Amino acid sequence: RKEVEQDPGPFNVPEGATVAFNCTYSNSASQSFFWYRQDCRKEPKLLMSVYSSGNEDGRFTAQLNRASQYISLLIRDSKLSDSATYLCVVNFNKFYFGSGTKLNVKP
Amino acid sequence: DTEVTQTPKHLVMGMTNKKSLKCEQHMGHRAMYWYKQKAKKPPELMFVYSYEKLSINESVPSRFSPECPNSSLLNLHLHALQPEDSALYLCASSQDGASYNEQFFGPGTRLTVL
């Protein structure tokens, strides 16, 4: 079983839509959680850390459910510029990456 | 400044060449990382340096040799690579090796081995 699992997508959504990604992790002792965004042929960029109480940054909301061992990312009012691959990252002694979820926002 | 820089941006080398990739950060971070990323795959950890000492080697072949000359610099020396080593090589840094610290990635070196 992979340490971190994500639905690879692609998620094809119209501009303005709300889209949610989930990610599950296998190690209950995992200590910290992040969402990164990666554009084609570019490096991963930190989108947001995920805190136990949930956190929001503009149109982006991240949630952590330790009991069920999953994290989620909600994007509201999708923009064309949100099109990218979203990587779920879980840290237990080192970073474990999910395989990424591809998002395509269409006009 | 959350910038990690890497040089060169692109590198083409033959299987008998020796080359080096360089990474630099000026954020005062004390942990630095090398990752390898193949197309449509997530980054794979290769090495971790913490306080200038190698703390993790993910069973990387010896044709890849990391070096951390000081707290701001990280090198990856390449020798006798194989075509399957062609990939994007990413450097990252974090404040230290603590699990709650975010990692910041450089733009990568796109390596092609002929």
pLDDT more than 90, % of chain A: 84
Count of other CB atoms within 10 angstroms of residue B32: 27
Per-residue pLDDT at B2 exceeds 70: no
Q: Is A11 in contact with A103 (CB distance < 8 Å)?
A: yes
Bridge pairing between strands A55-57 and A84-91: unpaired
- pLDDT at A34 (0 to 100): 96
Closest approach of B86 to chain A, Cα-based (Å): 14
Place of tokens 């081995």: B113
pLDDT per residue as tens digits for the range A6-20: 988 899 999 999 999
Among A68-72, A92-96, A102-106, B56-60, which is the least confidently predicted range?
A92-96
Give chain A positions within 8 Å (CB) of B103.
46, 95
Give chain A positions within 8 Å (CB) of B48.
94
Which among B28, B41, B13 has a CA at the least distance from the CA of B114? B13
User: CA of A44: which chain B residue's CA is closest?
Assistant: B105
Best mutation target among A23, A38, A40, A43 (most B Cβ atoms within 10 Å) is: A43
- pLDDT at A58 (0 to 100): 97
Give chain B positions within 8 Å (CB) of A95.
45, 103
Name the pLDDT band for B97 (thresholds 50, 70, 90): confident
Are B43 and A44 a contacting pair at CB < 8 A? yes
Are A43 and B103 a contacting pair at CB < 8 A? no
Give chain A positions within 8 Å (CB) of B88.
41
- pLDDT at B103 (0 to 100): 94
Name the pLDDT band for A1 (thresholds 50, 70, 90): confident
Per-residue pLDDT at A90 exceeds 70: yes
Name the pLDDT band for A61 (thresholds 50, 70, 90): very high
The mean pLDDT value of chain B amounts to 94
pLDDT per residue as tens digits for the range B8-66: 999 999 999 999 999 999 999 999 999 999 999 999 999 999 999 999 999 999 999 99
Which among A90, A72, A75, A79 has a CA at the least distance from the CA of A14? A79
Which among B101, B97, B38 has a CA at the least distance from the CA of B71? B97
- pLDDT at B1 (0 to 100): 55
